[in-house]
Amino acid sequence: MAKQWLLKEKSAELDSALAKEFKIPPLVKEILEARNITTRDELTAWFNEEALEDPFQMYDMEKAVSRIQQAVEEMEPIIVYGDYDADGVTSVTILMAALEEIGAMAAFYIPNRFTEGYGPNEEAFRSFADDGVGLIITVDNGVKGHHEVEVAKSLGIDVIITDHHEIGETLPDAYAVIHPAHPDGHYPCPHLAGAGVSLKLATALMGRVEPSLIGFAAIGTVSDLVPLTGENRWLVKKGLDALNQSLPAGVRALLTQASHQGEVTEETIGFIIGPRLNAVGRLEDARPAAELLMEQDPEYAAELAKSVDAYNIKRKAVVQDMTEAALAQAADKVAQGLNFLIITGENWNEGVLGIVASRIVEQYYRPTIVLNLGFDYAKGSARSIVQVSMFDYLTANEALLSKFGGHHMAAGLTMPLENVEKLEQALNDLIEEEGELQPVLEVDAEVDMSHVTVDAIRQLDKLRPFGTGNPQPVFKLNDLTITQNKAIGQQGAHMKMMLNDSLTALKWSGGQLVHDYPAETVVDVCGKFQLNEWNGHVTPQMILEDVRTDSVRYIDYRNQHASRFAFLKDEDVIYLINPDRPRQNEHYFYYGDNLSGHDKIVLRDLPEDLTAFSESMKSSTAKQIYVIFHSAVQVYFDGMPSLDKFRQLYKILFKEPVNLVQQGLSICQTLGVSPDALKFMIEVLKERGLVHDEGSLLVVNKEAGKVDMQASPVYAARHAQLEREQQLLYSSFDSIKNLINDKMF
């Protein structure tokens, strides 16, 4: 589906004096303006590396620290109660390190996704009381645990909640609630991840910012997809610095197991570390992930890393199997015209339903809910698109749900089995009001090719780290000529272009587009810049988000083996053929037919009627034309025998009757023509009444008078075919494109 390119509007320009003062290069200036960072205060906040806030600005922080210190002094057992995702296990790791340093008697507990679910659990809290625990500190959860907090209080346990999730109408009646968006607080960064909140409490307890703990906080922050703006941006920036200076043993072991070398970046966290930590809790108990992060012995950390990586491999296999089944369902529902998809399966792993839903949204750009069907309930995850608020849609139908929670782009839900079909119908009725659902690509800036240099791309690092809220910039380049294009990778899965002979552009999973964008096509492209380093050479490179052209694209397959264009059988194309051939199906049209409304056409046959060919081209609205011009018999290389050769042939035949089977080859050698040309010449002579067959002999009609060879219909037909081949089959491809353009426009 074609994407809508939206160029971000700039509310103000960055003053040149400020740009000079803050040493902001032109390409970076474009992005800051697109993101409305143009005033002195905004620039100062953006470039201020001392932006980590005082943890005691958080509401209830002093109260929480005092209570923890009391527990340490009284040797009171403490439980750190975490969550099973990457943010949760890093939050646990951070706070456990701080508690250990200050001498606390602390242990941690992470609920099981499948048997206990997310957040505080009454049964677990009661077991803590039986073990003599006096203080529970939640990390990355707890703000919705009203009942469980009351249970803990009734058991004589104080609960300190540290969380970052959305606050409901009221807060639990906990001993302290540390939340960056606390309704009674004024913390400058309300979007900290759970690991960020845990770091704040750890910093307050330890009296300093510990670099290794900032590294763990960076992992949790990037993995949880919170906005990388304000304090979060600097927390990740400083955390990456800390990780690159001194990797914790567990993180080092995990990267070694993943065969990662080189610098640790936000991409390293997002694509290597985070998914592996998440994989454990998606499949089983998440405790091994936390133990890996806390482990300091390199050898034991290596063993734990193997185990964690094995979970990730298993998670990929589970996701692959479920995705294949889910995509098959999705294809059927899309074919039925549904625009809000509910995909169901039995015994599906509930830990990966969100990943599967995301894959379907990527494929079909439709909001999707993926449900595991239990004995009497359905439970699952939902992912949406920009135009549709999943939270609002589910809220409008909450009578059909047992419970749900989420936001605009994602949600989780549980519902009775008998309501699944009702919900799908209701959601599809509702989405009809949205109109056409078109993917949107936000573009930060249009730039000139002259600005795309190695130095300019290096300067974009001033904007890092990239992530949610501060995505890697997307640039648009206009009117570039494709000078090379080919499929690369296994089975040609990816596309590699050369633009203007100077910029390499890669489209991952875009190998099928190679045929759509042949060399010499003028295109506009959108993508992200990076540097390609090879054999000591550094050159600019673009990772394509999208490519398009306003001009008609022509692909030349004339006089090529059919294997070169065999892929067309799987494309949504129509074929143009001559009227003497049968139509194989509804995709076949005759020259002369109206072609309006078809985007891709294949000129399969060499047209026998150029007037009919012109009529079809005048009606065409195609943006892509494949030129084959197949002809079973070609005369181009034989050409048209001269009239003098006709006279020579007539003289040979005049002398005596000829047996062509016996004498044909000799006559060809004498005349210097091919056997096909000789056959043509004899057909003309017969048609003109100059010769006739008598048995096996060709005999001259000596009574015939003088005739005009060129008036023969056979002669005229060959002459016309020769002209068509010269004009369409053996002319330059530029000539073909100009000819078709003249007809179309």
Residues in the chain: 745
Q: In the structure, what pLDDT confidence band is assigned to residue 482 with cuts at 50, 70 and 90?
A: very high
| Contact by Cβ (8 Å): 474, 444 | yes
Q: Give the type of residue at 122.
A: E
Q: For the residues 257-275, what does the mean pLDDT come to?
A: 95
> Rounded CA gap, 120 and 74, in Å?
25
Q: Looking at residues 485-497, what average pLDDT do you find? A: 92
> What digits encode the pLDDT tens for the residues 74-88?
999 999 999 999 999
- 8 Å CB contact between 419 and 382: no
Q: Which residue has the higher pLDDT, 408 or 287?
A: 287
Considering the chain, what percentage of its residues have pLDDT values greater than 70? 99
What tokens does 304 get?
A: 């734990």
- Asked whether the predicted pLDDT for residue 602 surpasses 70, the reply is yes
pLDDT over 70 (residue 51): no
Minimal CA–CA distance to 103: which of 129, 80, 77, 125?
77
Q: So what's the pLDDT on residue 375?
A: 83
Look at residue 50 and tell me whether its pLDDT is greater than 70: no
Rounded to the nearest 5 degrees, what angle is found at the Cα of 708, between the Cα atoms of 703 and 709? Answer: 100
Q: What is the pLDDT of residue 435?
A: 73
**pLDDT tens profile 145-178:** 999 999 999 999 999 999 998 888 899 999 999 9
Helix residue ranges per DSSP H, 336-370: 353-364
Burial category of 307 from C-beta neighbours within 10 Å (exposed 0-12, middle 13-18, buried 19 and up): middle
* DSSP3 helix / strand / coil % (the chain, rounded to 5): 45, 20, 35
Secondary structure of residue 599 in the 3-state scheme: coil
Contact (CB, 8 A) for 25 and 141? no
Answer yes or no: is pLDDT of 287 > 90: yes
Mean pLDDT of 736-742: 84
Rounded to an integer, what distance in angstroms lies between the CA atom of residue 60 and that of residue 182? 9
Q: Reply yes or no on whether the pLDDT at 2 is more than 90.
A: no
The number of angstroms, rounded, from the C-alpha of 198 to the middle of its chain's C-alpha atoms is 33
pLDDT of residue 565: 87
Res. 531: pLDDT tops 70: yes
User: Is the C-alpha dihedral spanning 684, 685, 691, 693 positive or negative?
Assistant: negative
What pLDDT, on the 0 to 100 scale, is given for residue 745? 61
Instruction: Say which residues have a Cβ less than 8 Å from residue 256's Cβ, sequence separation at least 6.
Output: 302, 305
Domains plus CATH for the chain?
Answer: 4-46 (no CATH), 55-310 (3.90.1640.30), 337-430 (3.10.310.30), 442-543 (2.40.50.460), 554-632+731-742 (no CATH), 636-711 (1.10.10.10)
Let me know how many helices (H) and strands (E) the chain has, helices first: 25, 25
pLDDT tops 80 at residue 521: yes
Dihedral of alpha carbons 635, 637, 640, 646, sign: negative
The gap from C-alpha 178 to its chain's centroid, in whole angstroms, comes to 37
> Average pLDDT over the chain, rounded to whole?
92
Say what the pLDDT of residue 44 is.
87
Q: Is 492 left (phi over 0), alpha (psi -120 to 50) or beta?
A: left
Predicted local confidence at residue 551, as pLDDT: 75
Among 348, 93, 357, 345, smallest CA distance to 239 is for 93
Over range 572-579, report the average pLDDT: 93
Give me the pLDDT at residue 451, please: 87
